[in-house]
Amino acid sequence: MAKTDNGIRICQGLLILGNVVIGMCGIALTAECIFFVSDPHGLYPLLEATENDDIYAAAWIGIFVGFALLALSILGIVGVMKSNKTLLLVYIILMLITYAFEMASCITAATHRDFLTPNLFLKQMLERYLKSDADNNNDKWMTEGVTKTWNNLMLQNQCCGVHGPSDWQEYTSAFRVTHNDADYPWPRNCCVMDNRGEPINLDGCKLGVPGFYNSNGCYDAISGPLNRQAWGVAWFGFAILCWTFCVLLGTMFYWSRIAY
Amino acid sequence: MSRSHSHPVSHCSAADKLSYRPRLADLEGRVTGSTFVLEQPRCIFDKYNTAEIWLVVATRAGMGDFNDSAQPGMPEWSFQRFPANTSAYLTLGAMQYHYRCLEPNRELTVLRVGSETSCADNASVPNCNGPLPSPGPYWVKFLALNDSESIATTQWSGPITLRTARAIPSSPGTGSGRSGAMIAITAILSVLLAILLAAFLAMLCSSEACGVGSFRPDSASIHRYNTHHVYDQSAARL
């Protein structure tokens, strides 16, 4: 009958459109997560040392989920066009599994982003930056990672400490054990450097004269990229899942209406 | 620096008592764990052209014990014995012309007390400007000496307390600080997944896969067709 024919055609059209959007979103999710995993700001060693690097795990899951969404959307389009019950059943089951994985990724990214407080980075910086003795190889690896990352951070962003140079004065630290307070009120990398990597005025830096030392804290330079990463994975994944929910419900309805 | 201490000089009555009170400079590093930064006493000692200006650093007891007839080379006022065996020491000696008056708009000039780490244990340098061993509080004043005779002295500064480092902060427990966004994401996604699973089960059960099955009127009945036209033909032949 013409009426149900039209209805079927509309249903098919909508499902195909839904799957096309899922496919494109899958590609976008993969690209976004590859960008995050490549760590353009070099902050991964900080998270690795806190043993709290699950937002990177969430990004890794996102890469594979993106590929899966692309492949399944193609399967879905083929299944809808052929009105094949078997293909569509496979599609629905695999989509549910992918849905569960992506849900895990979103929740992980959102939860672990809440752990990234200034105190976490402050504690880690004070305990590990330029620590001289290591308990074991793993400890040494983490210490080197933290030291290298903080040196890069302080040089590139012209900042010092988490809240400011006063962090080094207010708290005891592993740095203070090997560097006395009179010669190093704060680390050398907090000084403004010239092109050769030497402080332009070491005495000015030690005194705290404006212009010769970095007075800002580095917390914004750390939390900005990490927050963008966590929220990018979490919210984009959430949006994809909401759309996928609608498409899956439509596909299940279509499947139950197909007659053998 | 709110409290004023003016101890009358007990021995030398010839020393001028200037009203200048040393103060800390306004810099980030003005007070650290073992150093502090004073403003230079510019324009204060202009009258005393040939004098040597020394800085006296003292504990509270030292403010009373110190007398202005102290000589810079004397071991009883040396840095290495401070503060265990002596309550004050002399350091940062300079000729008066180093502290001559500058134009008013010139930059801040400062003195850093505690910056020389190399001579801190060297008893042959009694006027070492070494790092201060404890958080204090300390009081300072400037002393003008002319041929080992004190001719002028400033007031004692207010108490200068150095910074004490606190223990490393402990990070907050993992259960704290759940943001609203994370709760929303978790709740909404869980509900959506539950709805999807329920719809999936309903979909499977609406076909014959489930044990309950659904009853379609067509499938249960059996149709019989009487092919009466076959009977008629055979009856017609007989």
Q: What is the pLDDT of residues B67-107, one digit of tens each?
A: 777 777 777 788 888 878 888 888 888 888 888 787 767 77
Q: What is the mean pLDDT of residues A200-211?
A: 89
Find, among A168, A62, A172, A56, the residue nearest to A113 by Cα.
A56
Q: Identify whether residues A105 and A44 lie together within a single domain.
A: yes
Q: Are residues A9 and A111 in the same domain?
A: yes
The answer on pLDDT for A26 being more than 60 is yes
Say if residues B3 and B138 touch (Cβ distance below 8 Å).
Answer: no
Confidence label for B229 from pLDDT (cuts 50, 70 and 90): low
A182 closest CB neighbour out of B131, B189, B206: B131
Name the residue in chain A with its Cα closest to that of B115.
A182
Query: How much is the pLDDT for B227?
Result: 61
pLDDT at B171: 65
Tokens representing A65?
Answer: 């989920």
List pLDDT tens digits, range B35-76: 999 988 888 888 877 778 888 888 888 888 887 777 777 777
Reported as a pLDDT band with limits 50, 70 and 90, residue B5 is very low
Q: Which residue has the tokens 């419900």?
A: A249
Residue B20 has pLDDT above 60, yes or no: yes
Q: Which residue of B has its CA nearest to A254?
A: B203
Banded pLDDT at B220 (limits 50, 70, 90): very low
Question: Which of these, B160, B139, B128, lies nearest to B58 by C-alpha position?
Answer: B139
Query: Is B182–A248 a contact, with Cβ atoms under 8 angstroms apart?
Result: no
- Positions of E strands within B102-138: 110-113
Same domain membership, residue A122 and residue A72: no
Q: Which pLDDT band, with edges at 50, 70 and 90, does A73 fall under?
A: very high
Give the mean pLDDT of A80-99: 93
pLDDT tens by residue, B112-168: 998 888 888 888 888 888 888 888 799 998 888 887 788 888 888 889 999 888 888
Distance from CA of B200 to the nearest CA of A (A): 7
Q: Are A220 and A214 in contact (CB under 8 A)?
A: no
pLDDT > 90 fraction of chain A, expressed in percent and rounded: 55
pLDDT of residue B209: 60
Which tokens is B134 given?
Answer: 């404890």
Give the HSE-up count for residue B33: Cα atoms under 13 Å, Cβ half-sphere.
21
Q: In sequence order, which residues have a C-beta less than 8 Å from that of residue A153 and are 6 or more positions away?
A: A42, A159, A218, A221, A222
Helix (H) or strand (E) holding A225: helix A219-257
**Cβ-nearest to A241 among B112, B168, B189:** B189
Range with lowest mean pLDDT among A14-18, A95-99, B82-86, B222-226: B222-226
Q: Does the structure show a pLDDT above 80 at B4? A: no
CA dist., res. B109 & res. B65, Å (int): 30
Output the pLDDT for position B223: 52
A31/A122 Cα distance (integer angstroms): 32
Q: Which residues of B touch A166 (CB under 8 A)?
A: 28
Least confident segment among A203-207, B14-18, B215-219: B215-219
Nearest CB to B186; choose among A107, A182, A235: A107
Do A59 and A46 fall into the same domain? yes
Interval A66-88 mean pLDDT = 93
* Mutation site, B26, B32, B179, B206, interface A, largest A CB count within 10 A: B32
A113: left (phi over 0), alpha (psi -120 to 50) or beta: alpha
| Same-domain status, A81 and A202 | no
Show Cβ contacts of residue A59 under 8 Å, excluding neighbours closer than 6 positions: A33, A36, A37, A105, A109, A229, A233
Compare B16 and A192 and report the one with higher pLDDT: A192
Domain count, chain A: 2
The pLDDT, as a whole number, for residue A147 is 93
Query: Which among B177, B181, B218, B72 has a CA at the least distance from the CA of A235?
Result: B181
- Contacts with B193 from chain A: Cβ below 8 Å: 99-100, 103
Which of B37, B174, B182 would you mutate first to test chain A, the one with the most A CBs within 10 A?
Answer: B182
Q: Quick one: A10 and A39 in the same domain? A: yes
Q: Identify the residue with better confidence: B172 or A242.
A: A242
Which residues are CB-contacts of B142 (< 8 A; sequence separation ≥ 6)?
B20, B22, B41, B44, B45, B53, B54, B55, B56, B153, B154
The answer to whether B120 and B130 have CB atoms below 8 angstroms apart is: yes
Q: Please give the pLDDT value at position B2.
A: 44
Closest Cα partner for B55 from B25, B77, B34? B77
Strand partners, B89: B57
A31 Cβ partners below 8 Å, 6+ apart? A66
Task: Indicate if A87 and A61 belong to the same structural domain.
Answer: yes
Please choose, from the candidates A105, A84, A153, the residue with its C-alpha nearest in 3D space to the C-alpha of residue A125. A153
Q: Are A186 and A160 in contact (CB under 8 A)?
A: yes
Mean pLDDT of A20-32: 95
Above 60 in pLDDT, residue B234? no
Q: Do A181 and B174 touch (CB under 8 A)?
A: no
- Which whole number is the average pLDDT over A40-68? 89
What does the pLDDT average to over A225-233?
A: 89
> Quick check: B171 contacting A, CB < 8 Å?
yes
Q: Are B27 and A176 within 8 A, CB to CB?
A: no
Q: Are A153 and A213 found together in one domain? A: yes
Q: Are residues A7 and A23 in the same domain?
A: yes
**Nearest neighbour of A208 by CB, restricted to B27, B172, B181:** B27
Confidence of residue B236 (pLDDT cuts 50, 70, 90): low
Strand partners, A76: none
User: How far is A70 from B237, CA to CA, in rounded Å?
Assistant: 72
Q: pLDDT at position A260, please?
A: 59
Task: Give A79→chain B minimum CA distance, Å.
Answer: 17
Say yes or no: A20 and A104 in one domain: yes
All residues of chain A having their beta carbon less than 8 Å from the beta carbon of residue B200 are 92, 96, 252
Please indicate whether, in this complex, the C-beta atoms of B188 and A208 are within 8 angstroms of each other.
no
A108 shares its domain with A184? no
A124: containing domain: 118-219
| Rounded Cα gap, residues B158 and B153, in angstroms | 15
Whether residue A53 sits in one domain with residue A97: yes
Of A38-47, A119-128, A152-161, B12-21, which range is least confident?
Answer: B12-21
Omega within 30 of 0 (cis) for the link into B131: no
pLDDT of B212 higher than 80: no
pLDDT at A35 over 60: yes
| Dihedral class, residue A199 (left if φ above 0, else alpha if ψ from -120 to 50, else beta) | beta
Q: Per-residue pLDDT for A46 more than 50? A: yes
Give the integer Cα–Cα distance in Å for A166 and A102: 42
Contacts of B145 by beta carbon, 8 Å cutoff, 6+ apart: B51, B52, B53, B54, B71, B72, B151
Say yes or no for a CB contact (<8 Å) between B28 and A213: yes
Q: How far apart are CA B72 and CA B77, in angstroms?
A: 7
Smallest CA–CA distance, residue A187 to chain B, in Å, is: 13
Q: Please tell me the predicted confidence (pLDDT) of residue B62.
A: 83
Taking CA atoms, what residue in A is nearest to B112? A207
Residue B74 or residue A194, greater confidence: A194
Cα atoms in the 13 Å half-sphere on the side-chain side of B99: 28
Q: Which residues of A touch B185 (CB under 8 A)?
A: 106-107, 110, 234-235, 238
Q: How far apart are CA A91 and CA A98, in angstroms?
A: 10
pLDDT band at residue B211 under the 50/70/90 scheme: low
Question: What's the mean per-residue pLDDT of chain A?
Answer: 90
Cross-chain Cβ contact B27/A209 below 8 Å? yes
Res B108 pLDDT > 80: no
C-alpha torsion angle, residues A230, A235, A240, A245 (rounded to 10):
120
* 8 Å CB contact between A49 and A128: yes
More confident of the two residues B221 and A162: A162
For residue A239, what pLDDT band results from cuts at 50, 70 and 90? very high
Structure tokens at A237: 């994944």
Q: Are B49 and A196 in contact (CB under 8 A)?
A: no
How much is the pLDDT for B225? Answer: 62
pLDDT of residue A72: 96
In chain B, the N- to C-terminal Cα span, in Å, equals 140
CA distance A97 to A108: 17
